[in-house]
Amino acid sequence: MTQLATFAGGCFWCTEAVFARVRGVVSVTPGYTGGTIDKPRYEQVVSGTTGHVEAVRIEFDPSIVTYEILVKIFFGTHDPTTRNRQGNDIGTQYRSAIFFHNQEQRMIAEKVLAGLEQTHVFEKQIITEILPASDFFEAEKYHRDYYQKNPENPYCQAVINPKITKLRKTFANFLHSP
C-alpha cells in the first residue's frame, strides 16, 4: 500500500526532478498547498498573495523507501536555512516546509530536523516549517515533468542540475539505476 508525502523546497520543478529519481517513488505531482484560496493558479501563487507554497505531493511505497529517507533527501537537496527563498526564487511561495499526513510523519520530520540541528550539518538555523497537510491543488500541466521535458532550459541547467548532482552523490543507494 502506498503513502503520501508533501514537501515544499523552493521551485517545484526542482523538487519534482529530485524525487522522480528515487526508487520507491510511484509519482510526484507539482502543485500548491498551505494557502487561503481554493484552486489557485500559478499566476496567483507566484504573486505571493495567496499564502500557497509551490510543493510536490509524492506517492511512495514504504516497503521500498521510507518516509525518513524521503525527509533526509528533502533536507539534503535544498537550503532549509533561507526564509522564503531558494536561490533566486524569492517569496513566501518558495518557503521550505514539510506537510505531514499523520502524526508518525510529523514525529519523523521533527526527529530528522533535530538531528540535523544537533550535528550542525547547516551553518545557519533550519527554518523549515513542519505543518499538517492541507488541500493540495495540482499545478497546471505544463509544470509536470518540467525538468525532464526541458533539460536544456537555462534555469534547469543552473538550478536543477546541481541538485541532481548532489542527490546522486549523497543518496545514490536510493536512486533508480541510470
Selecting among 4, 5, 8, 11, the annotated active-site residue is 11
Half-sphere exposure of 29 (CA within 13 A, CB side): 17
Does 156 participate in catalysis according to the annotation? no
Please provide the distance, in angstroms rounded to a whole number, between the alpha carbons at the two ends of the chain.
26
In the block, which residue shows the cell 537537496? 77
Dihedral sign, CA of 79, 11, 66, 173? negative
Phi, psi dihedral angles at 41 (to 5 degrees)? -105, 160
Nearest one of 174, 140, 139, 146 to 160, comparing CA atoms: 146
In the block, which residue shows the cell 533561507? 82
Nearest one of 125, 68, 67, 123 to 96, comparing CA atoms: 125
- By annotation, the residues acting in catalysis are 11
